Structure 1
Amino acid sequence: MKKKALSILSVIALTGSLLAGCGTSAPQSSAPQKSEPAPAGGNQPAAQAQLEDTLVVAGNGATVEKLMKDHIFKKFNEKYPNVKLTYVSGVSTEIVAKVKAQKNSPQIDVTIIEGGEQEKGRQEGLWETITEADVPNMAKVPADLKIRDDSGVTVNFTPMGISYNAELVKEKNLPVPKSWNDLAKPELKGYITMTDIASNFGRSATIMLAYANGGSEKNIDPGFEKLKTIASYMPTFAKSAAQLQQNLQSKSAAYTTWTMARSLTQKKAGLPLEFVFPEEGANVVPNVATLVKNAKHPEAAKAFIDFLLTEEVQTMYAAELYYNPAVDVKLPDDLAKQLEFDRSKVVIFDYDVVGNKTAEWLDRFNREIAPNVGK
């Protein structure tokens, strides 16, 4: 099997970005509109510029939105009480499309999106360059985690893999998966839920099925062959992460392909999920903060991105959402253990290839895989 295994930091150094909310705009009322100087101390933009009194942040919905609005925004306003914060929620693809549509008159200042979508936005020229002079806490982010052309800042990451409902697996005496190829075992028929390859979850799984069978993103054929079998085990492909969650919760499915962060978050909420980092390895998904080009509130945006890299927020990301921190922070031992995975088996995707081939793969999926569902 062709496999590239490097540390998690090398992954992002070589790829620049990787490929994972829903919801609607939700304003977050804050403290007074009166402009006040930022308090002394702490990590603040080097120029100590006066912040604008408004900031619009876009990112994933659900638990991510809740953490942002209930905790991160409030903590930011303790430091910068004059800034009124608004949150726009959506999946990463929607956010990038919205920023592109607003290119001539940006309505969003900061996005926090998955690496693959951030890279697409970089290619479209949607992001401002960010330096350590703008965001001092970037100095805490290791060089290997830097985003291509400094077009964003990685704020956290999580590995891809296989999640399963341990209660249902035990009840039905189903196998515990160890390999991507286990998804094609006959015993799993009727118990799998996956998104199609338009989603990062399905796309990454297909690429890893290729790797597990001698291929790669440059030779996707083995992945499509396995996916044909898996498709025949399912009544349909899920359209969203929310649908994957619902299928696992209702026990209409026992297995899915998504991230460790999602699996651990749902386990904390009471769903009996276990996460497997497959023996062939997997890619990882970083979340990247960007400053929208020609944003209306750039100084507030820089201060906010800097704040996301503080130990306080990085610990929140880990404790509440099970994202691995992007900077070196000391986590409680039990939490650090939960976030462990075999980093020597991280697989590096060539995202130039992925980006160039995605449209072709989608067409092929519709022709070869979709008709095979449930057969």
Structure 2
Amino acid sequence: MSRSMMTAAFAAAVTILAPVVAQAEEVVFACWGGASQENFQKTILPPFEKKYGVKVQYVPGGSTYFVSQLQAQKGSPELDVACMDDGPQSIARDLGLLEPLTPARLVETPDIVPAAIGKDASGVGYGLLAMGLVYNPKALADAGIAPPTSWNDLADPRFKGHVVMGTIDNTPGLFALAMLARANGGGVDNIEPGFAKMKEVAANIGSFVKGTDMTPYFQQGEAWISVWTNSEMNRFVKASGFPLEFVAPKEGAPVVMPMLSLVKGGPNTEMGAKLIDYLVSSDVQKQFAINSKLGPVNTKVELTEAEAKGVIYKDAAKSLVALDWSVLNKMRPEWTRRWNQEIER
């Protein structure tokens, strides 16, 4: 046998004898970046990966980005599960981009509060948040300003230059407009009082923020007061020790519910359904409540008084305001046009 033939035979034998290294099954999970991503990847997802022998590929981003991505990939999506706030999620649902979650797909967690199930079973919320006013108590005390109690307090001239707020492109800005309307005799069906009051608020704005992260504005001293969720504020306070307080205004605090949705036609919808099931299980819901201050959607979760502090839990959930997303989505383009002309000029 020639040397070349011997070499070829040896290579073939090595190939046959070499162990086959199996690739781990993969599920693609699109969800928030920043502190949320760190919590998911370090704490929440590893037990799921170990239990099912899978790899969770984490794609960070925001709600509107994921809606755009799902639209662009329609027919051949790359995502299995997407996190989206309830507003953008309702758009994805209406566009036919989501796969219904049948009861059979939530076999491990049948005790989900009904309000957490999305319309047409298009998804399930994995936490209850309240959108309200967040303020720096030291900054207000130094300025001689009492803590806010109303959405109208954003227009207090003593806050001039120290109100930081999201634009209408994100949920905090949109909800602020709707709640200012509500606080002045209107609502989502009569937004005029909201625009009138928002013009007064605009005179106090130090910065309009395109995203939803208010942390640098508080840290730098620019923000004394903002519109933010209790959960985001509590995560920041826990991580940094920075003193902030949350208040649900007397006119009400809108509920914000991050949703988990199964992507229609995703590459691994069955494992995606298992991931959603896992994320709303009582054990994981308790972790979200303790670590991220998300109100649990699983009725089996029990929290101590200390653990429930700052969490939308049981009776606290009853005072939340549910804004009509069908109206918000319909009117948002027109409100955005007006916002750009009348508010952010």
TM-score, normalised relative to structure 2: 0.89
Which segment drifts farther, 292-301 or 165-174? 165-174
* Superimposed CA distance per residue, residues 178-235 of structure 1 (whole angstroms, 9 cap, x where no aligned partner): 1101111111112111011111001101100000000001111111111101111124
Once residues 288 and 68 of structure 1 are traced to their aligned partners in structure 2, the CA distance between those partners, rounded to angstroms, is: 15
Once residues 103 and 270 of structure 2 are traced to their aligned partners in structure 1, the CA distance between those partners, rounded to angstroms, is: 13
Match of 2:113 among 129, 135, 142: 142
The 3 A distance-change label for structure 1 pair 363 and 196 is same
* Superimposed CA distance per residue, residues 274-333 of structure 1 (whole angstroms, 9 cap, x where no aligned partner): 000001102111111111001111121111111111122111111111111111201232
> Which residue of structure 1 lines up, in the alignment, with residue 179 of structure 2?
208
How far 1:33 sits from its partner (Å)? 7.1
* Superimposed CA distance per residue, residues 332-363 of structure 1 (whole angstroms, 9 cap, x where no aligned partner): 32121321574443223222211110000000
Larger radius of gyration: 2
* Residues 156-175 of structure 1 aligned to structure 2 (within 5 Å): 156-175=127-146
Matched, 1:357 2:331: yes
Once residues 344 and 69 of structure 1 are traced to their aligned partners in structure 2, the CA distance between those partners, rounded to angstroms, is: 32
How far 1:143 sits from its partner (Å)? 2.6
How far 1:256 sits from its partner (Å)? 0.2
> Which residue of structure 1 lines up, in the alignment, with residue 17 of structure 2?
none
What runs of 5+ residues in structure 2 fail to find an aligned partner?
A: 1-19
Once residues 237 and 296 of structure 2 are traced to their aligned partners in structure 1, the CA distance between those partners, rounded to angstroms, is: 20
> Which residue of structure 2 lines up, in the alignment, with residue 80 of structure 1?
52
Which segment drifts farther, 171-180 or 205-214? 171-180
> Which residue of structure 2 lines up, in the alignment, with residue 347 of structure 1?
321
Give secondary structure in 2 for the equivalent of 1:86: strand
> Which residue of structure 2 lines up, in the alignment, with residue 117 of structure 1?
88
Matched, 1:182 2:153: yes
How far 1:34 sits from its partner (Å)? 4.2
Once residues 251 and 216 of structure 2 are traced to their aligned partners in structure 1, the CA distance between those partners, rounded to angstroms, is: 28
Once residues 102 and 149 of structure 1 are traced to their aligned partners in structure 2, the CA distance between those partners, rounded to angstroms, is: 22
Matched, 1:233 2:204: yes
Higher relative contact order (CA 8 A, sep 6+): 1
Identity of aligned residues (%): 34
Match of 1:255 among 210, 225, 229: 225
Q: Is the 8 A contact 1:110 1:291 kept in 2?
A: yes
Which segment drifts farther, 100-109 or 166-175? 166-175
What runs of 5+ residues in structure 1 fail to find an aligned partner?
A: 1-31, 36-51
* Residues 254-333 of structure 1 aligned to structure 2 (within 5 Å): 254-269=224-239, 270-328=241-299, 329-333=301-305
* Superimposed CA distance per residue, residues 28-54 of structure 1 (whole angstroms, 9 cap, x where no aligned partner): xxxx9748xxxxxxxxxxxxxxxx811
Q: Is the 8 A contact 2:169 2:210 kept in 1?
A: no
* Superimposed CA distance per residue, residues 92-111 of structure 1 (whole angstroms, 9 cap, x where no aligned partner): 11011111111121111001
Q: Report which of the two has the higher share of helix.
A: 2
> Which residue of structure 2 lines up, in the alignment, with residue 223 of structure 1?
194
Once residues 21 and 242 of structure 2 are traced to their aligned partners in structure 1, the CA distance between those partners, rounded to angstroms, is: 42
The 3 A distance-change label for structure 1 pair 104 and 211 is same
Give secondary structure in 1 for the equivalent of 2:166: coil
Matched, 1:369 2:343: yes
TM-score, normalised relative to structure 1: 0.82
How far 1:141 sits from its partner (Å)? 0.7
Once residues 158 and 323 of structure 2 are traced to their aligned partners in structure 1, the CA distance between those partners, rounded to angstroms, is: 30
Which segment drifts farther, 200-209 or 190-199? 190-199
Q: Which amino acid aligns with 1:264?
A: N
CA RMSD of aligned residues (A): 1.7
Q: Which amino acid aligns with 1:255?
A: I
Once residues 277 and 100 of structure 1 are traced to their aligned partners in structure 2, the CA distance between those partners, rounded to angstroms, is: 35
Aligned length: 322
Q: Which amino acid aligns with 1:364?
A: R
